Amino acid sequence: MKKFVRVACASLSIILALGAVTGCKKDEGKSDVTTVTMWTGDGGSKAVMTEMVNEFNNTIGKEEGIKLEYIVKEGNLKEQIDLALTTEQAPDLFITSGIDKYSINGDIAAIEDMPGGEEFLKRYEGSLIPEKHTYRNKTYCLPFSTNTYGLIYNKDMFKKAGIVDKKGNAKPPETYDELRKAAKKLTNKSKKEFGIILPLKWSSWIYQELSPTTMGSYGRGYYNPLTGKYEFDVMKKPLETIMGIKKDESFYPGAENIDNDTARARFAEGGIGMKFAVSWDVGVLNDQFPAKCDWGVAPLPVEDKDNKYLQLSSQSFGPYINAHSVKSKDAEKIMTVYKWYHSDELLVKLYQAGAYIPWDYDIIKDVKVENPKKGWVEFASLNEISVVEPTAVKTDITGNPNFSNVFTNDIWTEKVSIDASLKKIEKIMNDGIAKYKENNPDYDSSIAILDEWMIKR
């Protein structure tokens, strides 16, 4: 009997000791806590996101037994993710491209199949783009933020040149013709003042600066979502405008040797009247190259000011969900993090911090920002008159020049006419559709052809 009591007491002591240890873990918030990891390559918002993640961990995470580890990776994130997937060390959530490959390989989970996923997706009806958010009728990621396109202009130079409205405020051009006219009027070589700066050394210039103007003018880019073909006629007027500016010599000299960083720095110094820009340039002109001039943001110019369409915006998407994590971890807790990351509350805070413009303008249209960076609210407001371009049919133009090459080598050098150059690239792209289909017979191009596309402003 005494032996039994001694054994029981010893066992009780061990149990109490273990209980005390377990109790300590609970007090430290470490017991029954699921760690959810997320990888991103976006270092620009690291500081504000770290703050938001800490807030999550101390509120929702603490209540639900979740610890979110938000990790910003340097280098080639896609390569790191692919390697991590093969070694079963991939994060639970990750932001990269490759929806088709990851879906086919079974590496990402469909949101419909997650706890509460079907209900959660109702918010995004009508906003999901095939092969960007969805693949083979399943949803794998969601819209997150928006980049808007605009024309930034030096208000000081506009006022000095008399390009003003009735109240004496700087009046940016609304049309291509007004853009050329303003550039010419703003140019004064003797004072080293030029109407516009064109960073033609930047290989993405034609795609990020000039091509976006066509959506507001003609309701589409050079891919026509109603026909499933590339139709470059919409680029004629914008290109004629740029070549007219070249003829007038109303652009900053040496455009062929100017990249985008150089162009932004030069605009910030003053003496440049206008530049095509994207909302991400706000950080550059406030922090990297603080502008010394008073500048504003205007919508992109169009051909006819009385016949406008919604202008172009581009969109970033949120993370994929690691399908392997769903099998080994609490899927509801992973989904809790996923919903929080896409919540209006988080997007509003990120907008107010100057980090992101939410994908849906309604989220922030009535939100006030205290001491915003110059140009931030203006670029954000462009989202109200902007639209994301539909998915374009896939092409294979291997061995042929792309549009940037054609512009640089044929159009800008004036070796080939604009009309002939556009016919050339149009043939290359449409032949590329057939080539891609031939090499990928299972590809369904019908997802890139719409029954209607009406975006009148």
pLDDT tens-place string over residues 250-294: 999 999 999 999 999 999 999 999 999 999 999 999 999 999 999
CB atoms near residue 447 (< 10 Å): 16
* Chain Cα centroid distance, residue 21: 48
Q: What is the pTM of this model?
A: 0.89
Per-residue model confidence (pLDDT) at position 1: 41
Residues 264 and 324 in one domain: no
Residues 275 and 408 in one domain: yes
Residues 187 and 239 in one domain: yes
- Asked, for residue 25, whether it belongs to a domain, the answer is no
- Asked, for residue 375, whether it belongs to a domain, the answer is yes
Across the range 427-432, mean pLDDT stands at: 98
Residues 177 and 305 in one domain: yes
- From 276, 211, 256, select the one nearest 422 (Cα to Cα): 211
- Asked, for residue 90, whether it belongs to a domain, the answer is yes
**Chain mean pLDDT for the chain:** 93
Tokens representing 241 are 């405008």
Across the range 360-366, mean pLDDT stands at: 96
CATH code, 307: 3.40.190.10
Confidence band of 437 (pLDDT split at 50, 70, 90): very high
The H-assigned helical ranges of 311-368 are: 323-328, 331-341, 344-352
Per-residue model confidence (pLDDT) at position 12: 39
Residues 188 and 262 in one domain: yes
Residues 295 and 328 in one domain: no
* pLDDT over 90 (residue 21): no
Sign of CA dihedral 188, 191, 194, 195: negative
- Asked, for residue 11, whether it belongs to a domain, the answer is no
Residues 181/186/187/190 CA torsion (nearest 10 deg): 150
The H-assigned helical ranges of 105-154 are: 117-121
Q: Which residue has the tokens 């931030």?
A: 376
- Asked, for residue 20, whether it belongs to a domain, the answer is no
Residues 179 and 310 in one domain: yes
Distance in angstroms (rounded) separating the CA atoms of residues 80 and 435 = 31
- Asked, for residue 19, whether it belongs to a domain, the answer is no
50, amino acid identity: T
The H-assigned helical ranges of 155-207 are: 155-161, 176-186, 205
Tokens representing 247 are 């003829």
Confidence band of 31 (pLDDT split at 50, 70, 90): low
Per-residue model confidence (pLDDT) at position 43: 85
Structural domain ending residue among the three candidates 369, 387, 405: 387
Predicted confidence (pLDDT) per residue in 113-171, tens digit: 999 999 999 999 999 999 999 999 999 999 999 999 999 999 999 999 999 999 999 99
Residues 119 and 262 in one domain: no
Across the range 185-202, mean pLDDT stands at: 97
- 87 burial level (CB within 10 Å; 0-12, 13-18, 19+): exposed
* pLDDT over 80 (residue 424): yes
* pLDDT over 80 (residue 227): yes
Q: In this structure, are residues 230 and 398 in contact, taking their beta carbons and an 8 Å threshold?
A: no
Q: Residue 330: which domain range? A: 32-146+316-387
Structural domain ending residue among the three candidates 342, 363, 387: 387
Q: Which residues contact 430 (CB under 8 A, 6 or more apart)?
A: 229, 230
**Is 40 strand, coil or helix?**
strand
Residues 167 and 244 in one domain: yes
Distance in angstroms (rounded) separating the CA atoms of residues 135 and 447 = 10
Predicted confidence (pLDDT) per residue in 194-204, tens digit: 999 999 999 99
- 454 burial level (CB within 10 Å; 0-12, 13-18, 19+): exposed
Distance in angstroms (rounded) separating the CA atoms of residues 425 and 417 = 12
Per-residue model confidence (pLDDT) at position 28: 42
- Asked, for residue 17, whether it belongs to a domain, the answer is no
| Number of domains the chain contains | 2
Confidence band of 210 (pLDDT split at 50, 70, 90): very high
Distance in angstroms (rounded) separating the CA atoms of residues 205 and 407 = 10
Across the range 343-348, mean pLDDT stands at: 97
Tokens representing 444 are 């369904």
Distance in angstroms (rounded) separating the CA atoms of residues 7 and 22 = 22
Distance in angstroms (rounded) separating the CA atoms of residues 356 and 157 = 30
- Asked, for residue 24, whether it belongs to a domain, the answer is no
Residues 200 and 175 in one domain: yes
221, amino acid identity: G
Across the range 393-420, mean pLDDT stands at: 98
Confidence band of 315 (pLDDT split at 50, 70, 90): very high
Structural domain ending residue among the three candidates 364, 387, 410: 387
Q: In this structure, are residues 373 and 283 in contact, taking their beta carbons and an 8 Å threshold?
A: yes
Residues 152 and 273 in one domain: yes
Residues 152 and 215 in one domain: yes
Distance in angstroms (rounded) separating the CA atoms of residues 415 and 423 = 15
Give buried/exposed letters for 167-197 (b at 16+ CB in 10 A, else e). eeebbbbbbbbbbbbbbbbbbeeeeebbbbb
Tokens representing 333 are 């807790």
**Is 278 strand, coil or helix?**
strand
